[in-house]
Structure 1
């Protein structure tokens, strides 16, 4: 959202998302939302295993992104269904030539190559794991998944913490071989 809003100041931009954009206020009681997430422990609470489906990530906003979207700069549409050369294919069958596509954070893992590993993926094709450690394949682990362990698992604030945990797990796995 942030990149799209900046680009929309000088170009025609379409923000293609899987779901409508949801916003969270940047400041609460005069402090940044990240302060409150860290201060309350919500940022690192190991809640990921309790969630059946990760909630939609919120755009942290001081009002300018919500306003830009409301004004149509950027324009928001459901994500395209394909790409054909320099054209994107929309769900309604229309095709539109584009100059560039910027793939940004918020995407979900697409790991069909793991389907050959018995039990590595659930019915929806998502990694089966507990806190990033594969629930079915010894020695397989993940980092950067939404709600892998906590709210911040798929962000720069949390991926390092999860990666350190995974590294310790994999080192123990290798020692036990």
Structure 2
């Protein structure tokens, strides 16, 4: 399946945040994440994810490590929102969850991969439905294979965001 990450913008339902590359890097955002945020763009809202403007980023010390809070995740029915973080000067993209141990865990190796996973899940579902090959189990299996190739560390965590997403399809939820 040939995927162009620029196509993710077709799925954005809100305004794209305007970031300055040099400002992002000076705040501690990695060069890779800053490049993605400027060249591809990040929406203010995407599904249940809210991304902040750089003027509202927060530096937070968690267990002795410096993180940059760039947004939050609040799914329908959740009482509390969970933060979205970069580890300072690292590309890794994190979230928190009271249901996960440790509470802070990596979603993806970088922000680009996070949005790439979203693009793949949308495009794969559409392709399978067009070809009359869609079933929730087959979809979950194909996603798992693709995600494992792109970001195996994110998929290793059985309690992680993407593992739960795939499990919901495997079980028909």
Per the shorter chain, which TM-score range?
Answer: under 0.3
- Normalised by the length of structure 1, the TM-score is 0.27
**Larger RCO (CA under 8 A, 6+ residues apart):** 1
* Greater C-alpha radius of gyration: 1
Q: TM-score, normalised by structure 2?
A: 0.27
More helix by share: 2
